C-alpha cells in the first residue's frame, strides 16, 4: 500500500492521542495510541503507533516520541484586530465606573481613540505590538490568525494595517489571513458626510487594497453605533465583486438584521450574535454561514444575554470561537481563555468549543479544505498538549498545557 511506505515520510510522531476533530461519532475524532507522519508541509499518514514505528524503523524515518501527549490540529483564531496603536485601559476604568461602551464611543472615545493612536504609530511600532500579541497566541498552539484592519479609517492607514498584518505572516511561523474592515466606525473627519465615507471605503480604498493583494476578506460593523444594513450591503457587494470573501460583525449590541444580511451576502461568517432572532438563526443555517462567538468581548462589556447557542446548535449552524483580540472590548491574547469562556458563559460543550477553534474556524476563513482537522493531505499544523483529555483545553484557566507545535511539518521554536 502506498501510504505504508515510510520513504514517503519526512518524520513521524508516535505514541500520541489524536483529537483529529474530524466529524464522526466521536466529537473529537479521537485516535488513541496513534501516529502522524508528515511530508513537506502536509500530513502524509495517520494510523496506529505500532504500525508507524515498524514502518519508520524499516525505512529510516526520524521518529518523535509524543509520550502519550494529545495532538490537536493547530488552533485557529479566526477573528482578531491584532494590529493597533495605544490601549484603552482608561476606558476600561470609565466603564467600571458605570459609563457604557456605546456612550464612550458616541463621545469620541472607543474605536475613534484607537484610530487616533493607530494613525500616529509607525509601521515598526504597529508591527512590534502585533508581533507580541501574535507570540502569545502562538504559545498556545495557534498556527493560523485572522487579522482585521479597521483602526485606520482612511485609505492609507487601512493599507498600512494590512501591510503590517501581511508582514507578520512573512516574518513569523504562523499563517495570517487578512480582512479589510473598512466599515468599523465613522471617522471624525467624515462626521458630517456618512455617505462620502461609505463611498470611499467601498470604492477607491477597497480597490487599492485589492489591487495590492492586501486582503483576503472584507468585514463591517453592522450595528447601532456602526453602519446600517443598507450601508453594509453596498460595501459588501463591492467587496464581493472585487473578489473578496465577506464577513459581518452582527448583533453585538442590538439586532438590526445584520445576520440576515450576512446570510444574504453569502458571508463566510457572522460574528458576535448576542442579539439574534429566530429568523436570523434560520438564515445563517440556510446559507451555511458560520456563527463566530466572541465570549471575551461579552465578558469585558459585562453583557448579560448570551448568543442563542441552543437555537444555533439545533439549526445546525457551525459555531466557531475566537478571541476578538482588540484594545476596546477584548484585550485578550489567549485562545484557551476564549474556549473556557465559550463553555462557562455561553454553554458550549468543550468539544464544541474546540471545534470552534479548529474545524469551524477554518470554515469561517474559507480554509476548511486545507486545515482545521488532522487529515492526510491537509497542512501539517498541529499542537502537542500535556493533558489527560481534550476538554482540559477549556478548563485550565490561565494554564498553558501546550508543549510543542508543528507548523507546516516542522517543529516550531518558541517565538
CA distance 268 to 236: 12
- Residue 127 interacts with which of Fe ion, ligand NIG, none, CB < 5 to 8 Å by class: none
Closest contact distance (angstroms) between CB of 252 and ligand NIG is 5
C-alpha–C-alpha distance, residues 412 and 63, integer Å = 16
352 is a site residue for ligand NIG (CB under 6 A): no
CB nearer Fe ion, residue 77 or residue 324 = 324
Residue 157 interacting with ligand NIG (CB under 6 A): no
CB closer to Fe ion, 185 vs 368: 185
Query: Strand 290-293 relative to strand 42-48: parallel, antiparallel, unpaired?
Result: unpaired
Compare residues 175 and 252 and give the one whose CB is closer to ligand NIG: 252
297 touches ligand NIG by CB under 6 A: yes
Q: Give the binding range for ligand NIG (CB under 6 A) out of 12-20, 133-141, 324-332, 398-406.
A: 324-332
Interface with ligand NIG (CB under 6 A), residue from 86, 109, 152, 328: 328
Nearer to ligand NIG, 81 or 371 (CB): 81
The answer to whether 329 contacts ligand NIG (rule: CB under 6 A) is yes
Q: In this structure, what C-alpha cell is assigned to residue 31? A: 485516535
> What is the rounded distance in angstroms from the CA atom of residue 71 to the CA atom of residue 33?
11
Q: Which is nearer to ligand NIG, 178 or 373 (CB)?
A: 178
**Toward Fe ion, which CB reaches closer, 255 or 324?**
324
- CA dist list (Å): 413 to 11, 14, 69, 141, 378: 17, 20, 18, 12, 21
Residues 96-115 that bind ligand NIG (CB under 6 A): 110-111, 114
Contact code string over 116-155 relative to ligand NIG, x by CB under 6 A: ----------------------------------------
- Beta strands 402-407 and 382-385 are antiparallel
Nearer to ligand NIG, 70 or 151 (CB): 151
* Residue number with the smallest Cβ distance to Fe ion: 324
- Give the length of the chain: 415
Residue 110 site contact among Fe ion, ligand NIG, none (CB < 5 to 8 Å, cut-off depends on kind): ligand NIG
User: Which residues of this chain interact with ligand NIG, rule CB under 6 A?
Assistant: 110-111, 114, 221, 249, 252, 297, 324, 326-329
Amino acid at each position: 500500500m502506498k501510504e505504508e511506505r515510510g520513504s514517503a515520510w519526512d518524520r513521524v510522531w508516535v505514541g500520541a492521542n489524536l483529537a483529529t476533530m474530524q466529524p464522526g461519532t466521536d466529537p473529537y475524532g479521537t485516535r488513541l495510541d496513534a501516529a502522524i507522519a508528515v511530508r513537506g508541509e502536509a500530513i502524509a499518514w495517520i494510523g496506529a503507533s505500532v504500525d508507524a514505528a515498524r514502518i519508520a524503523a524499516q525505512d529510516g524515518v526520524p521518529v518523535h516520541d509524543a509520550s502519550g501527549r494529545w495532538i490537536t490540529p493547530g488552533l485557529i483564531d479566526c477573528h482578531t484586530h491584532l494590529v493597533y496603536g495605544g490601549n484603552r485601559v482608561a476606558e476600561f476604568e470609565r466603564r467600571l465606573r458605570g459609563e457604557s461602551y456605546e456612550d464612550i464611543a458616541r463621545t469620541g472615545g472607543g474605536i475613534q481613540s484607537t484610530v487616533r493612536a493607530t494613525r500616529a504609530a509607525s509601521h515598526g511600532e504597529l508591527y512590534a505590538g502585533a508581533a507580541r500579541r501574535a507570540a502569545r497566541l502562538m504559545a498556545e498552539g495557534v498556527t493560523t490568525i485572522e487579522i482585521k484592519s479597521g483602526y485606520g479609517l482612511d485609505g492609507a492607514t487601512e493599507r498600512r494595517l494590512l501591510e503590517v498584518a501581511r508582514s507578520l505572516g512573512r516574518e513569523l511561523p504562523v499563517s495570517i489571513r487578512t480582512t479589510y474592515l473598512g466599515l468599523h466606525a465613522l471617522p471624525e473627519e467624515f462626521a458630517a458626510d456618512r455617505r462620502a465615507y461609505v463611498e470611499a471605503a467601498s470604492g477607491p480604498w477597497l480597490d487599492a487594497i485589492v489591487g495590492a493583494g492586501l486582503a483576503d476578506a472584507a468585514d463591517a460593523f453592522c450595528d447601532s453605533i456602526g453602519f446600517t444594513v443598507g450601508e453594509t450591503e453596498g460595501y459588501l457587494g463591492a467587496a464581493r465583486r472585487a473578489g473578496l470573501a465577506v464577513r459581518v460583525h452582527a448583533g453585538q449590541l442590538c439586532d438590526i438584521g445584520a445576520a440576515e444580511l450576512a446570510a444574504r451576502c453569502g458571508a463566510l461568517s457572522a460574528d458576535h450574535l448576542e442579539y439574534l432572532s429566530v429568523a436570523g438563526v434560520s438564515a445563517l443555517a440556510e446559507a451555511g454561514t458560520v456563527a463566530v462567538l466572541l465570549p471575551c468581548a461579552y465578558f469585558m462589556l459585562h453583557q448579560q444575554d448570551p448568543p442563542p447557542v441552543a437555537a444555533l446548535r439545533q439549526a445546525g449552524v457551525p459555531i466557531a470561537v475566537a478571541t476578538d483580540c482588540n484594545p476596546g472590548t477584548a484585550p485578550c491574547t489567549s485562545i484557551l481563555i476564549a474556549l473556557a469562556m465559550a463553555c462557562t458563559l455561553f454553554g458550549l460543550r468543550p468539544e464544541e468549543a474546540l471545534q470552534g477553534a479548529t474545524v469551524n474556524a477554518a470554515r469561517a476563513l474559507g480554509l476548511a479544505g486545507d486545515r482545521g482537522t488532522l487529515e492526510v493531505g491537509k497542512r501539517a499544523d498541529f499542537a502537542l498538549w500535556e493533558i489527560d483529555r481534550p476538554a482540559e483545553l477549556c478548563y485550565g484557566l490561565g494554564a498553558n498545557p501546550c508543549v510543542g507545535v508543528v507548523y507546516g511539518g516542522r517543529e516550531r521554536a518558541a517565538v
